[in-house]
Amino acid sequence: MKVADSMEISAGMTNIERARAEGSDAFKKLFSGMVRERVESLTETLEEMNARQQEIKQLKEQQHFTETIRHILPDGSILVREYVDGKLDSCYRKRPHLKDVPDESKPLPRAADGTVLEAQIKMKQVPAVRIFEDIG
């Protein structure tokens, strides 16, 4: 035994150094195992992250919407407002369909004999449909 001990000492390695070397080998194995696990879990994590980003992108696309609101005004015109993502995009007024009716405020044109000249009656244009007059 003394010969073996002397060989170890002569080789320049003591028991403490051997324990350190064995410990560092075990640490290297442990560390490399941990790194391997992290790399494997990293790819899984990246895949999960990409899937979540796709879900978020789809949800954002679903949130983009266009809303059209129509208000019928008393004169028969329609006020159209278009909202994109909750913000007013355009607003315009669609005029009502108009029809010709005799203008009652103007005097009726008469011939010399006193008959009414129907072809010369003054006409005015009024909306074809009046919401509040139809209701009341």
List, for residues 48-82, the tens digit of each pLDDT value: 999 999 998 888 887 778 889 999 887 778 899 99
Q: Tally the domains of the chain.
A: 2
Same domain? For 38 and 85 the reply is no
Range of the domain at 90: 66-135
Q: What percent of the chain has pLDDT over 90?
A: 15
Same domain? For 76 and 54 the reply is no
Question: Is 117 exposed, middle or buried, given 0-12, 13-18 or 19+ CB atoms closer than 10 A?
Answer: exposed
Residue where one domain finishes, among candidates 23, 45, 63: 63
Q: What is the pLDDT of residue 91?
A: 95
Q: What is the pLDDT of residue 68?
A: 92
Determine the distance from the C-alpha atom of residue 9 to the mean position of all C-alpha atoms in its chain, rounded to a whole number.
76
Residue where one domain finishes, among candidates 63, 95, 110: 63
Stretch among 1-15, 41-55, 69-83, 121-135 having the lowest mean pLDDT: 1-15
Same domain? For 41 and 97 the reply is no
Rg of the chain over CA atoms, in angstroms? 47
Residue where one domain finishes, among candidates 16, 39, 63: 63
| Geometric angle at alpha carbon 29, from 27 and 34, rounded to 5° | 90
Residue 120, pLDDT > 90, answer no
Query: Which position has the higher pLDDT, 22 or 45?
Result: 45
Same domain? For 53 and 109 the reply is no
Contact indicator for 76, 96 with CB cutoff of 8 Å: yes
Contact indicator for 74, 132 with CB cutoff of 8 Å: yes
Q: What is the pLDDT of residue 10?
A: 47
- 85-116 per-position pLDDT tens digit: 878 999 999 888 888 888 888 888 888 888 88
Same domain? For 85 and 123 the reply is yes
